[in-house]
């Protein structure tokens, strides 16, 4: 039960870090997290140890524990890895897409549209990730997605800030085009669209950093 609660605490704190509910630079405490998450002190403490190892929180002696600033070079490296892996994933997804898995992708996109209409950016962000994860799963590469998910938290933090300011219709248009390429088994187009989609971070980096200057550890890298 302790291990289960530790995982629950870790996932809950991680999610709050990604969504900036726990803002970069914010001071936190075990007691405060315990009250916020309704989870006992021991699982919270163990979760913080794990987050500290991932450099998502840090402790200053005689001061306290703080949420780490977003490491922009780390986010950009994660984007680089994901782009080069995902371009290949989409080629494999083209070859393996079936009518059943096509329906899964279409359903996710429908949920994204509903999120846009409701101006529910958190659900949009969640379903955006679901769309890409589903493509990895269709390609038979779920383990690769899981590995990426474990190592891309700074990228996810950046992407969330982007979603709070982005015109979501632009992202949706790219998803529709990507889905069309997958259905048409057009691997070359899927490859190109994936690169275009994941380059958006580089195009918008300066805008996001200027809008949230206190959230970032580095501006260049």
Tens place of pLDDT per residue across the chain (221 aa): 445 888 899 999 999 999 999 999 999 999 999 999 999 889 999 999 999 998 899 999 989 999 999 999 999 999 999 999 999 999 999 999 999 999 999 999 999 999 999 999 999 999 999 999 999 999 999 999 999 998 899 999 999 999 998 888 888 999 999 999 999 999 999 999 999 888 888 888 899 999 999 999 854 44
- What was the pLDDT predicted at 58? 94
- What was the pLDDT predicted at 202? 83
The length of the chain, given as a count of residues = 221
Reduce the DSSP state of residue 212 to 3 states and report it: coil
Spatial CA neighbour of 132 closest among 190, 191, 86, 188: 86
Question: Residues 6 or more apart from 77 whose CB is under 8 A from it?
Answer: none
- What was the pLDDT predicted at 186? 96
DSSP assignments along 85-141, one per residue: HHHHHHHHHHHH--HHHHHHHHHHHHHHHHHHHTT-HHHHHHHHHHHHHHHHHHTT-
Q: Which domains are assigned to the chain?
A: 2-67 (1.10.10.10), 72-215 (1.20.120.530)
């Amino acid at each position: 039960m302790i291990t289960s609660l530790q995982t629950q605490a870790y996932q809950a704190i991680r999610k709050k870090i990604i969504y900036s509910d726990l803002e970069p630079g914010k001071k936190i405490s075990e007691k405060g997290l315990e009250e916020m998450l309704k989870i006992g002190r021991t699982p919270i403490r163990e979760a913080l140890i794990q987050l500290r190892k991932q450099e998502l929180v840090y402790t200053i002696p005689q001061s306290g524990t703080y949420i780490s600033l977003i490491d922009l070079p780390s986010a950009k490296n994660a984007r680089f890895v994901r782009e080069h892996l995902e371009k290949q994933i989409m080629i494999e997804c083209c070859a393996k897409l079936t009518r059943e898995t096509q329906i899964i992708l279409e359903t996710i996109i429908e949920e994204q549209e509903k999120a846009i209409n409701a101006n529910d950016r958190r659900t949009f962000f969640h379903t955006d990730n679901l769309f890409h994860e589903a493509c990895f799963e269709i390609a038979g590469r779920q383990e690769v997605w899981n590995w990426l998910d474990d190592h891309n938290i700074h990228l996810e933090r950046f992407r969330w800030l982007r979603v709070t300011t982005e015109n979501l219709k632009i992202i949706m248009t790219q998803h529709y085009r990507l889905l069309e390429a997958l259905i048409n088994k057009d691997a070359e187009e899927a490859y190109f669209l994936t690169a275009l989609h994941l380059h958006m971070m580089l195009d918008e980096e300066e805008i996001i950093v200027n809008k949230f200057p206190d959230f970032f550890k580095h501006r260049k890298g």
